[in-house]
Structure 1
Amino acid sequence: MNIKLLSFGCCCLVLSPICSAKHDWFVKPYVGLSQMSDMTLVAQNVESQTGNSDIQLDGGFVSGLGVGYVIHNNLAIELAWEYRSNESTTALPSNNSLYEGNIASNLFFLNTYYVFNTPSSWQPYIGAGVSWAQEVDIDLEEQGSERSYSSDGDTGYQVFAGMLFKVDDAWSWQGEIRYGQMKDITLNAESGTGEFNNLDYDTLTLQLSAVYHF
């Protein structure tokens, strides 16, 4: 819990050229909508089945928080944490049964931002970062029972663009669209045997956040 609270203080901090030296640090909680691509992966001895499996994904949600520092004028770095969850329907190779559940992740990011100067309170920005997965997992639910498959330590990247609106020297609002990817993930059974291979974790996020400069 402590590491989650600490890292939940790290997720998408907007740097703004409008901030003076006394406002070099930022903290930003955010919430958003999560969209993920449907997946085709390989099941190995999952529910005694082996072969290609399909996962259909519905819309979900994302929440997180970031802490960052303005290096110089328009450029800043950020350490971030994020939780994401999307409902899922998994078809194993036999296709005789569909398993409801969800796929979720706890991710950490190291990002860089560049904010463009404008004469108004509206300022566009772009950025990119690397990601590290504390956990990616999928749950298969059937008749009241649940099997979980998970992975950790996977790496990837993200790119993003957005618009911030300065309320005053301390506060601003930010809207952002973000694409992330981690490839070739293997999810192992948390109990018993079985694994999913060749999972590509592609995410699209639309988020809104309040940013505090200090």
Structure 2
Amino acid sequence: MRYRFCLPLLLAGLFSSAQADEGQWFVRPYVGYSLMSDQTGQGADLGQANGAVSVDLDGGFAAGLGLGYRYNANWAVELAWEYRSNDSTTTLASGERFDEGNFASNLFFLNGFYFFDQGQKWVPYLGAGISWAQEVDLDLEQDGIERSFSGDGEFGYQAFAGIEYRFSPTWSLQGEVRYGALSGLTLEGEQEAGRIEDIDYHTTTFQIALRYAF
């Protein structure tokens, strides 16, 4: 529980120190193509469906918004929100199959960036971040039947690499590849309808972002 209070305190420290130094704030909306690895979990309290749960995942989309501070030519920090959804086919241990579901999330990130800035228009960068799950939701749908399992409050991480093209001192376009991971999740069924345990949420994203500095 104490980790849930550490993140706001860390953010407050980072942004308050930013105000004391020279630098530049920025806002960064982004959209991307989402890939997720297929997952296997364990169904519990699901009656005859107890046992292995297989989730096959298709491509999807991600969209988000970041607010950050560029300390100098090389270093920046960002707080970001992201929504992601991938279509899913889920098979329970009973053999029951749901072909029309989705695996989705609302995540918050605290990211750090390092820019290899040499004063050029094209600037490569690397970064990493801590993620916090406001919600991860697995919906199972088939022929009008829907079951939903969700979890929250888990921490994970991400790493990314990208390149930035600067149109002007205030506007730039970024292309980025990201890998993120939340592991060992427990998703609780609605109306206490069992749960899915030990399932992962691993993502790869190819995205573009528009960055405005102010």
The answer, yes or no, to whether TM exceeds 0.5 is yes
Return the alpha-carbon distance in structure 1 between the equivalents of residues 206 and 137 of structure 2: 22
Per the alignment, do residues 64 and 126 of structure 1 end up closer, same or farther by CA in structure 2, a change over 3 Å counting?
Answer: same
In the TM superposition, what whole-angstrom CA distance separates every residue of 1:78-132 from its partner, at most 9, and x where no partner exists? 0000000000000101224334200100000001000002352000000001000
* Corresponding residue pairs, total: 194
Correspondences of 1:118-133 after superposition (within 5 Å): 118-133=118-133
- Asked whether the 8 Å contact 2:149–2:195 carries over to 1, the reply is yes
Give unmatched runs, 5+ long, in structure 1: 1-20
Residue 157 in 1 paired to residue 157 in 2?
A: yes
Q: Considering only aligned residues, what root-mean-square deviation do their CA atoms show, in Å?
A: 1.5
The offset of 1:44, in angstroms, is 1.1
Q: For 1:135, give the aligned amino acid.
A: E
Correspondences of 1:8-157 after superposition (within 5 Å): 24-46=24-46, 48-157=48-157
Return the alpha-carbon distance in structure 1 between the equivalents of residues 185 and 96 of structure 2: 25
Return the alpha-carbon distance in structure 2 between the equivalents of residues 150 and 89 of structure 1: 16
- Asked whether the 8 Å contact 1:69–1:77 carries over to 2, the reply is yes
Return the alpha-carbon distance in structure 1 between the equivalents of residues 155 and 200 of structure 2: 11
The offset of 1:192, in angstroms, is 3.3
Q: For 1:149, give the aligned amino acid.
A: F
The offset of 1:136, in angstroms, is 0.1
The offset of 1:45, in angstroms, is 2.8
In the TM superposition, what whole-angstrom CA distance separates every residue of 1:137-177 from its partner, at most 9, and x where no partner exists? 00111221211100000100000000000000110000000
Which residue in 1 is equivalent to 2:176? Answer: 176
The offset of 1:191, in angstroms, is 1.7
The two structures have a TM-score, normalised by structure 2, of 0.86
Q: Which moved more, 1:21-30 or 1:56-65?
A: 21-30
Q: For 2:71, give the aligned amino acid.
A: I
Q: For 1:81, give the aligned amino acid.
A: W
- Asked whether the 8 Å contact 2:22–2:71 carries over to 1, the reply is no
